[in-house]
Amino acid sequence: MQGFKQSILVSIWFVFLTFPLMAVRVNTADRIVEWRWMNMLWVAVASFVLSYAWRYMLARKQARNKSEESGQQQGRVQVLLEDMGFRYRAMGVLLVLALIFPLVFDTYQNTIMISALIYVVLGLGLNISVGLAGLLDLGYVAFFGVGAYSYALLNHHFDLGFWAILPVGGILSCLFGVVLGFPILRLRGDYLAIVTLGFGMIFKVVLENWSDFTFGPSGIANIDKPGLFGIDMNIDGSTLYIYYIMIALVVFTILITNRLRNSRIGRAWIALREDEIACVAMGIDMARTKLSAYALGAFWAGMVGVLFAAKTTFINPASFTFMESAIILSIVVLGGMGSILGVILGAFILILLPEYMRAFSEYRMLAFGAAMVLMMIFRPQGIISNIRTKYEYKGLREETDNG
């Protein structure tokens, strides 16, 4: 009952705040004032429902925390999401659906899906430095731009093909990751975020002003698409070819990042994320660990940047803004830091939903912000949280039982 009364008060307060904007409209042509009372009714109803739902979810969260503290088991949905077998089966289903997707839908839908897959690889790359190593990077789009401009410039000046530049773009971005990592080895938290943000802004300014090298704001056009043994392909065939290249790159990225996470360097990243002081005290080389996280995360951004340039056949500095870095970081946070399946789902949600909900384009950023706030409050670990690997030796226990 207390929550109901508070929701009523919130509704009245919102009606009072939005009254000048939502109810009053001045018609300058007819010189009259229009009163839109239905808008106020919708504001009152929506604010009441949202406030009541908000309080209900907070109460559920508090009750769940109490039950977990008392030793009760988690719900079935949570157990299912944290089951490794479920994650592997889900990835298998996603792969099968991805392979048959272009056979069912048209070229336009394939193009949208290519964009989503590009952000999947970007999210998995950033997941190395942010999700595993805990190193916040707000200038990640710079590595993406390095790969794209590597292919665009080498193709324009030296007529080099896509397959020759694909590893080169990743290696160049990897070197830029090392260059970024050296000055910030001893930075943490907000200072680290500010420096990486500045790096991304510097990269964009250089692209815009170094016209003799990067062609400035006009960008680079007529970039060659990926070739297939010299076969001439139309738009539909080229889109389908790029789609399957992107699928292969996503699968390759998942396999490598999963192996890295379970390797020695992956455990060092996780230790660095949990407690840097304890990590160094255990003998882990902090400099090498941080540099490897930045370098390997940047490698995937560079490779997918090459494919982005080949897909669009035109790039300019406007494609590599801070908003792109924010979207990639949001994909990692929304999906679940350190979780591969979570990053994939987060990329699909943040990239595909705005495309298929263009009717609500005016409220896109509002819905985006509200979704992030709700996630941070009710599920801060992301849609699918990362599972802490446990190692248990059962031999001694079995010998004791037999004895």
Integer angstrom CA distances of residue 231 from 111, 235, 238: 21, 13, 10
Say which DSSP state 138 is in: S
Contact call for residues 298 and 174 (beta carbons, < 8 A): yes
Quote the Cα angle for 112-116-119, to 5°.
Answer: 145
Question: pLDDT for 17-26, tens place per residue?
Answer: 777 777 777 7
Rounded CA-CA distance 108/114 in Å is: 10
Higher pLDDT pick, 55 / 395:
55
Contact call for residues 330 and 95 (beta carbons, < 8 A): no
Structure-token pair, residue 189: 């938290």
Say which DSSP state 130 is in: I
Residue 247: the pLDDT is 93
Q: What is the mean pLDDT of residues 115-142?
A: 90
Rounded CA-CA distance 349/382 in Å is: 13
Q: What is the mean pLDDT of residues 280-286?
A: 86
* 338 φ/ψ sector (left φ>0, alpha ψ -120 to 50, else beta): left
Residue 142: the pLDDT is 92
* 382 φ/ψ sector (left φ>0, alpha ψ -120 to 50, else beta): left
Question: pLDDT for 198-242, tens place per residue?
Answer: 888 999 999 999 888 889 898 999 899 988 877 778 888 889 999
pLDDT at 398 over 80: no
Going by pLDDT thresholds of 50, 70 and 90, the confidence category of residue 76 is very low
Rounded CA-CA distance 62/98 in Å is: 39
Going by pLDDT thresholds of 50, 70 and 90, the confidence category of residue 266 is confident
Beta strands in 86-240 (DSSP E): none
Rounded CA-CA distance 158/171 in Å is: 18
Going by pLDDT thresholds of 50, 70 and 90, the confidence category of residue 80 is very low
Residue 2: the pLDDT is 62
Higher pLDDT pick, 246 / 90:
246
pLDDT at 390 over 60: no
Rounded CA-CA distance 382/296 in Å is: 23
Residue 250: the pLDDT is 92
pLDDT at 167 over 80: yes
What global pTM score does this model have? 0.78
Going by pLDDT thresholds of 50, 70 and 90, the confidence category of residue 74 is very low
Decide if domain 81-378 falls under CATH 1.10.10.
no
Residue 75: the pLDDT is 45
Residue 379: the pLDDT is 72
Residue 14: the pLDDT is 76
Unique residue bearing structure tokens 């080099």: 160
Question: pLDDT for 203-212, tens place per residue?
Answer: 999 999 988 8
Contact residues for 128 (Cβ-Cβ < 8 A; gap 6+): 257, 260, 269, 293, 296, 297, 300
Helix or strand holding residue 24 (H, E): strand 24-27
